[in-house]
Structure 1
Amino acid sequence: MDRFLKDLSDGLEAISLQILSRVAGMSKDDITSLLEDVRRDLANPKIYAYMRV
């Protein structure tokens, strides 16, 4: 995993926890489960993301 994806993966919980719990009403366990799936997808070389910066 390249450095950008590693940094993104490491910071996912900090970025996501407040907004998903307050706005979406998700529990911490649900958020943790979702982020595990996101981390798995980030590590998958068959999935490409296009983001404007």
Structure 2
Amino acid sequence: MRVKNLYILAGLDNVSTEEREIYFWKSIADPKLNIVKSEEDLMENFALTIAKKQ
């Protein structure tokens, strides 16, 4: 996974909004994540999250 664009985005404190937006979208596209979860996996994760809050 490339994080170069994410590092650049993190360092853009006083740069124009347009440049920040460019690096934001590049950092989103870089990982090329393919997250597929079954409904059962999602429900289990949700239940564990709820249980940990108790």
How high is the TM-score relative to the length of structure 1? 0.38
